[in-house]
Structure 1
Amino acid sequence: MHTPLRTCIGCRATAAQSDLIRIAKVDGEPPRLTFDPAKNHPGRGAWLHHTQECLALAIKKNAFSRAFRTRVQPNELVITA
């Protein structure tokens, strides 16, 4: 059976989709990012290890802007569950 692989936007390591969390962009001002535990939210998504280190790296590298192909400033991020 094939296991889907995804790349963490923080550490850039490839891992099984089941080992990463998906973050989806919700339209609005400011951009709102939401955790997508069911992995079925419409639109673009970014994959991230569930660690503080990977989140910090993603913010430092401006990875959210690249992943969502739009400008996302760290001070504008509102991550909801």
Structure 2
Amino acid sequence: MSAELFGQDRPGIVREISRALSDSVQKLQTIVESTPMSGERLFRAEADLVPPARIEFDQIRAAFEQLANDMMIDITLKAGKE
């Protein structure tokens, strides 16, 4: 399973994401870049995840949607590693 995350950069965002994903993150890559028009700092991350056993993909998706809302970021979750 993999996830792509992006949103406006801010202090502590890596800490918040790694804390939220600590039970399932296997690999986390992050980058901060400037948006073309405004120059604002955009945070992007890619994560390889190994979710806890016996949890359905729909449950994981719902948890990630809540995380995205709480952190005001966008998350794309993929069932297989692509």
Question: Given the two structures, how large is their TM-score scaled by the length of structure 1?
Answer: 0.32
Q: Which structure dedicates a bigger proportion of its chain to strand?
A: 2
Question: Given the two structures, how large is their TM-score scaled by the length of structure 2?
Answer: 0.32
Q: Which has the higher contact order (CA 8 A, sep 6+)?
A: 2
- Higher-Rg member (1/2): 2
